[in-house]
Amino acid sequence: MIDTNVDRRHDNSDKWAVTKDDDQLLPMTIADMDIATPQFIREAMQRVLNKKVLGYTTPSTGFYNAIIRWQKTHHDVSLKRDQLIIVPSIAVGLSFVIRNLTQKNDGIIVMSPYYPPYRQLVVDNQRQFVEFPLVQREGQYVIDFNRLDAVMADSQNKAIIVCNPHNPGGCVWTTTELQRLQDIANAHHVLVLADEIHDDVAFSDNLPVSMLSDLMGSEAASQTVLMKSATKAFNLAGVKCAFLAVKNPALLATLKHAAAAEAIEEVNTLGVVATQTAYEQGAQWLTEVNAYLEENRNLAYEYLRENIPMIRPMYPEGTYLMWLDFMAYDLSDDELDEKLRSLGHICLNRGIDYGQTGSGFMRLNFAVDRDVLKDALQRLKAFDTAVRKK
């Protein structure tokens, strides 16, 4: 049974911290859920706490088997234990991979708009951030493969980050798109860094395909590093546990050696317990949550299209994030943010933070209680009414 009756105003939540300065403000931002972490996971962590000692812990065979079974059952990804590397988070894992599988000044291709930390992780590791704008077609993002081929043909560009489902756009790349992307990457010896953290948030009309899926074939596997975590789907961001999956023996050996040198696999004990429990016991709970999120998505999408046509939503095929086009208001990014806060008393993620292609957009997180979502939509309506009156 899912629990949407949560109050995070006083728990040091990054999302709700904005209300300290304005208690009327409703944040619909950072990508965690205002839905309770499953009780069976909290109980598993409590059993560890009841043992009274939080000492050194080695992930068990059961932990690895839970990951392997989940990936095979839900994503058709066949893995072995020695192909997994445990890391604290996707961001840490991505930085680790960039640092150890590319060289300084190598180009890392990133589809834009993009998850904001991608830029920092690339630039701060002294690599070149190669922004690759996605193209809008019939209200959804698509990849211009001819242009991608040309970008990958540049010998300086050594890797591409592929976020599937895409954050912030919410699009799910099709098997055909992924195979074409992979063919181009293989032809130019470009490494694919597959961020699939959102792929368990799946709706009935679209199921994400993993870049390491058995459907993709051995060539895809040889050029891919998969990055994954249970944190988005099971609301576990604070307990810090993720994993990398690598099938190419040479890449795997390099990363295993580096992981030992950096002690990167020393992760949070409670994160290990939470991840194993999620993957062992969480299928039914996740089915219920995804159904709830799908109803939220449909409600928000239809409300905006019918009641606030100047806000143009991109239809989320995956994730619990909705990418909203506010360009019809002809406001600067700063003006848009300020007026949403002052007129609508609502806080969204600024699109400009997701790259220049995000200018004029805002990102809304709809993983909340439905009444809170309705409140948010009414606040957007109030913003719309107030702006158009001026």
pLDDT tens-digit series, residues 122-136: 999 999 999 999 999
DSSP string, 182-202: HHHHHHTTPEEEEE-TTTTSB
Q: Would you list the domain boundaries of the chain?
A: 16-39+284-389, 57-279
Indicate the CATH number of 57-279 among 3.40.50.1010, 3.40.50.300, 3.40.190.10, 3.40.640.10.
3.40.640.10
pTM score: 0.96
What integer is the mean pLDDT of 159-186? 97
Rounded Cα–Cα distance for residues 45 and 277 (Å): 9
Residue in 220, 182, 200, 212 with CA at minimum distance from that of residue 33:
200
- Stretch among 14-28, 340-354, 366-380 having the lowest mean pLDDT: 14-28
With bands split at pLDDT 50, 70 and 90, how would you rate the model's confidence at 348?
A: very high
pLDDT of 194 over the 90 cut:
yes
Q: Which has more confidence, 20 or 376? A: 376
Mean pLDDT over residues 312-316, rounded? Answer: 98
CATH of the domain spanning 16-39+284-389, picked from 3.30.70.1050, 3.90.1150.10, 3.90.1560.10, 1.10.10.60: 3.90.1150.10
Chain mean pLDDT for the chain: 96
DSSP alpha helices (H): ranges in 154-282? Answer: 175-187, 218-222, 231-234, 249-262, 269-281
Please check whether residue 315 is in contact with residue 301, taking contact to mean a CB–CB distance below 8 angstroms: yes
Q: Does 22 score more than 90 pLDDT? A: no
Query: 8, 15 in Cβ contact below 8 A?
Result: yes
- For the stretch 175-188, pLDDT in tens is 999 999 999 999 99
What per-residue confidence (pLDDT) applies to 75?
Answer: 97
Position 340 scores a pLDDT of 98
Q: Is the pLDDT of residue 57 over 80?
A: yes
pLDDT in tens, 245-301: 999 999 999 999 999 999 999 989 999 999 999 999 999 999 999 999 999 999 999
CA 64/CA 84 separation, integer angstroms: 8
User: In this structure, how many other beta carbons lie within 10 angstroms of the beta carbon of residue 33?
Assistant: 24
pLDDT of 162 > 80? The answer is yes
Asked if pLDDT for residue 369 goes beyond 90, the answer is yes
